[in-house]
Chain A
Amino acid sequence: MIEVRGVHKSYGNTKALDGFSLVAEGGDLVGLVGPNGAGKTTLIKILATLVRADAGEIRVAGLDVGHEPSAVRQMTGYLPEVAGIYQEMRVAEFLGFFADAFHLRGTRKKEAVDAALAASGLVPLRARYVEELSLGQKQRLLLAKTTLHSPKVLLLDEPTTGLDPMARLQFRQELRSWQSRDKVILISSHILSDLEEVCTQVVFIADGRNPAKLEPSSDPGKGPQLFCDLEVISDPRAAKQFAESFPGTRAVEARGAQLVVAVDGGKEAAAALLSHLIQSGVKLVRFDPRAQTLEELYRDTFGGSRS
């Protein structure tokens, strides 16, 4: 449903996108991850028809974004990074305005507004002024507005920034609900733990290109590389040295008595590393093998080790 192949976009001499590609199908919840200035917002704006690409093939639901922008808008819901909201309107009135803007009329409009209010849990607040809502409620209202016309593709740019943990939890639940309806959701965020929890696919972007790709929910038993969380009560520096002396192992992070080491070879290798550490005299209180987290992969890809 989203096909981006070799997209290029420059602002003057600055290349925002430099041959980036991405493919997502119905039911995919794709996390777009990269440092600031990597090209995430530009890509989302191109898909939302707000910015025209210089080159490349960009299709949404089979429609060419450059040639059929109006049809693409019918298929997409776009939530910008800093989304404005009409503070002086009432909640239901705000949704009604956008229902009109998406050419929903009569009973279709009423049904769409009622459904959006129900899905976002804003029914009791429908007569309130938008300015009276909390940040989390406003974000839910904006998502309700974004999904009002039942788009097939949702483009969400940093949607959880500034939300408290409870609001983020509700937001993730809403995303799952949309994902279960066979929509494609492209979400850009710096909150990697949120993406790790909900995304079916994470795509990295750096300098407008594709540096790496990850399936974050892989089974720890199947992966060739495992990450082991260690906690020691002996000398942590010595423990780190012993761990790194084991073949195929490297220390990823060291914080006081806690270590994270990467070991190649799956569970067998992790068991061998545990034996090696015990035999070396390292006193362990915790040894927990797991898959690599998105944050670790991000650090691997973009640098910034904390060891």
Chain B
Amino acid sequence: MNPIIRKELHLHMRMRRGWWLLGLYLFALCGTVTLVYYNSAMNARRGNPVGAVVGTNVFHTVVLTQLVVLLFLAPVFSAGSLTIEKEQRTLAGLLTSLLSPFEIWWGKYAASLLYLGLLLFSSLPILSVAVVLGGIGPLEVLAAFGVTALLLASICSIGLYFSSFFRRSVHSTALTYGLLLATHILSFVAFAFLEPSLAEAGFSWKKMPLLLNTFSCMMSVLGIEDFGWKWIWLASLLSFAALGVTASLLASRNLRRSEG
């Protein structure tokens, strides 16, 4: 096992922060489920349908809330992972060991992703509530988990690139958040301007901004909205994958440069 992965996970779980974060995360998701369930039950009393619709509502809300929280946490774990080594002046020790720049990158990347993966999988019992209520099958749960994991993998890779580029965590973290906010806000602005043309069926270049919006991708996967193009989720995932791979190559190159 890559020693950096082991070190990072040990240190994460040894600190109180690791457990507090996990607790808060699950608390937030439980709160969301309770609110949605309560709201759906109130609607049911007014004569609206229950059962499958309540389950679907709970599932969609929890998946989207989970995505927001994890997108908020991803830069914390990824964008600071290499800069902290620079700030603590421990990067030279890693670069002069027998670990290759790729192994260092991979260790940091996998460690940040594994912790987010722990958060993601810890929410499985909460999501299973939606399955019990009905309207949602295991395949949909699997699809939501897979897409969330892929989106996080891409965001972590971008965060790690900024971490390899900057010397201070505050700069790399701020820029990762800035990029995430900018792409989401810009794509929503574009969505508002281009809304009439989004009704057009099939692919259109006007739908391109939505490819870099994690919510449009997830909404398409969940079947909430397909923006007139049923493959938009796949195009979006491929765009994020391309970004992630490019960011990882650039981060490895930056580490090689620090090395020599």
Q: Is the interface of B mostly helix, strand, loop or mixed?
A: helix
User: Are B260 and A52 in contact, CB atoms less than 8 angstroms apart?
Assistant: yes
Name which of A85, A89, A93, A97 has the most chain B CB atoms within 10 A of its CB.
A97
Given known contacts A49-B259, A84-B88, A101 and B94 CB-to-CB distance under 8 angstroms: yes
**Chain A nearest CB: distance from B259 CB in Å?**
7
Q: How far is the CA of A84 from the CA of B3 in the complex (A)?
A: 17
Q: How far is the CA of A201 from the CA of B194 in the complex (A)?
A: 75
User: Are B260 and A51 in contact, CB atoms less than 8 angstroms apart?
Assistant: yes
User: Are A86 and B90 in contact, CB atoms less than 8 angstroms apart?
Assistant: yes
Within 8 A of A (CB), among B1-36: 3, 6-7, 10-11, 14-15
Q: Which residues of A contact B92 (CB under 8 A)?
A: 48, 50, 78, 80, 83-84
User: Are A86 and B89 in contact, CB atoms less than 8 angstroms apart?
Assistant: no
Q: Which residues of A contact B100 (CB under 8 A)?
A: 70
Q: Tell me, yes or no, whether B96 is within 8 Å of chain A by CB.
A: yes
Q: Tell me, yes or no, whether A265 is within 8 Å of chain B by CB.
A: no
Which among A66, A69, A82 is the interface contact of B89 at CB below 8 angstroms?
A: A82
User: Are B3 and A97 in contact, CB atoms less than 8 angstroms apart?
Assistant: yes
User: Could you tell me how many residues of chain B have their Cβ less than 8 Å away from some Cβ of chain A?
Assistant: 24
CB-CB contacts of B88-105 with A at 8 A, as 1s and 0s?
Answer: 111111111111100000
Q: Tell me, yes or no, whether A290 is within 8 Å of chain B by CB.
A: no
User: Are A83 and B89 in contact, CB atoms less than 8 angstroms apart?
Assistant: yes
User: Are A73 and B260 in contact, CB atoms less than 8 angstroms apart?
Assistant: no
CB-CB contacts of A68-111 with B at 8 A, as 1s and 0s?
Answer: 01100110101010111110110001000110111100000000
User: Are B93 and A98 in contact, CB atoms less than 8 angstroms apart?
Assistant: yes
User: Are B90 and A85 in contact, CB atoms less than 8 angstroms apart?
Assistant: yes
Q: How far is the CA of A223 from the CA of B209 in the complex (A)?
A: 80
User: Are A102 and B89 in contact, CB atoms less than 8 angstroms apart?
Assistant: no
**Chain A nearest CB: distance from B128 CB in Å?**
35
Name which of B91, B100, B258, B259 has the most chain A CB atoms within 10 A of its CB.
B259
Q: Tell me, yes or no, whether B85 is within 8 Å of chain A by CB.
A: yes
User: Are A86 and B7 in contact, CB atoms less than 8 angstroms apart?
Assistant: yes
Q: Tell me, yes or no, whether A183 is within 8 Å of chain B by CB.
A: no
Q: Which residues of A contact B10 (CB under 8 A)?
A: 93
Given known contacts A84-B88, A101-B3, A50 and B96 CB-to-CB distance under 8 angstroms: yes
Closest-by-CB residue of B relative to A74 is B98
Which among B3, B6, B15, B96 is the interface contact of A78 at CB below 8 angstroms?
A: B96
Q: How far is the CA of A50 from the CA of B93 in the complex (A)?
A: 10
Q: Which residues of A contact B93 (CB under 8 A)?
A: 80, 83-84, 98, 145
User: Are B89 and A89 in contact, CB atoms less than 8 angstroms apart?
Assistant: no
User: Are A89 and B11 in contact, CB atoms less than 8 angstroms apart?
Assistant: yes
Additional A-B contacts beyond A80-B92, A84-B93, A102-B98 (7; CB < 8 A): A49-B95, A52-B260, A76-B96, A80-B93, A83-B93, A88-B11, A103-B98
Q: 12 pairs across A/B with beta carbons < 8 Å?
A: A50-B259, A50-B260, A69-B259, A73-B97, A80-B89, A83-B89, A84-B89, A84-B93, A85-B90, A88-B14, A97-B7, A101-B99
